[in-house]
Amino acid sequence: MAITAAMVKELRDTTGAGMMDAKKALTETDGDMDAAVDWLRTKGLAKAAKKSGRVAAEGLVAVAVEGGVGVAVEVNSETDFVGKNAEFQDMVSRIAKVALSVSDVDALAAADMGGKSVADTLTAKIATIGENMTLRRMARVEGETVISYVHNAAAPDMGKIGVLVALSGGDEAIGKHFAMHIAAANPAALSEDDLDPAVVEKEKQVQMDIARESGKPEQVIEKMIVGRMKKFVAESTLLNQQFVVNPDVTVAEAAKEAGATVTGFVRLEVGEGIEKKEEDFAAEVAKAVQG
């Protein structure tokens, strides 16, 4: 029977196998989905599917810079141990280099890396290393000069936090200082104009509720909110933050002194926003006994 793209996709989703492996399995089994799953399992190509339900919240962020383009890529694993694996590190480094030529994580997953797509390379590595892994996200920044920095480096250009800073003017030294500041201070946006309006409005409502709890008159509360929101913007935006290298000036003031303008930045931290399942062994045992 004819093997359709939809059948191949269904088998890939079920087993985590690569596209060509899934197509071959369906061809070999005349389109029988269950038999194709068994075929992949016997070849050791469906091993990845057994791991796919496990939370991958460790891993590495890798950075790569070429000319005025910088990329940061996060590849997750289940355990920190895998992040120290030379085979895993080599793969992540190669993925970051491929990312220089694409615009988003979907394009990166589909991009060629030595004759296989990045997604298929990752699937194959899951089978050999034996842990679930995910290509979670990538970020890209362009500018006159792009400086990279990795905090808690596990290997060159990869670690737990990856930062990219785009500059106009200035030099590499000040760019590196700004990148280290971003790693430490974790700004939400470059400037007030770049802040998400929904985030600003939510913070304003929270601050108003807090102020109203004090029982003060509305006109007093309004003045309090102006001050509190000014502080929120200063703490949340890179250019308005106190520069960690010299807290007497803001990042914007430090940039001006160095003859530089910060035009953009990226900060990726491994596992950021991923809910890790906490295993309660005692509760599991109690549940088993009751069952």
Report the distance separating Cα 104 and Cα 113, nearest Å: 16
Report the distance separating Cα 13 and Cα 20, nearest Å: 13
Contact criterion met (CB below 8 Å) for 60 and 158: yes
Alpha-helix residue ranges (DSSP H) falling in 52-117:
80-83, 86-99, 105-110
Contact criterion met (CB below 8 Å) for 88 and 282: no
Residues 6+ apart with CB under 8 A from 12: 18, 19, 22
Question: Could you read off the pLDDT of 192-219 as tens digits, one per residue?
Answer: 999 999 999 989 888 888 788 778 888 8
In terms of pLDDT, which residue wins out, 81 or 96? 96
Question: Could you read off the pLDDT of 238-291 as tens digits, one per residue?
Answer: 999 999 999 999 999 999 999 999 999 999 999 887 755 544 445 555 555 555
pLDDT of res. 246: 94
Cα angle, residue 27 at apex, residues 21 and 32 outer, rounded to 5°: 100
pLDDT of res. 6: 86
Using the predicted structure, report yes or no on whether residue 223 has a pLDDT greater than 60: yes
Phi, psi for residue 202 in degrees, rounded to 5: -65, -45
Nearest partner of 255 among 233, 240, 236, 237, judged by Cα: 240
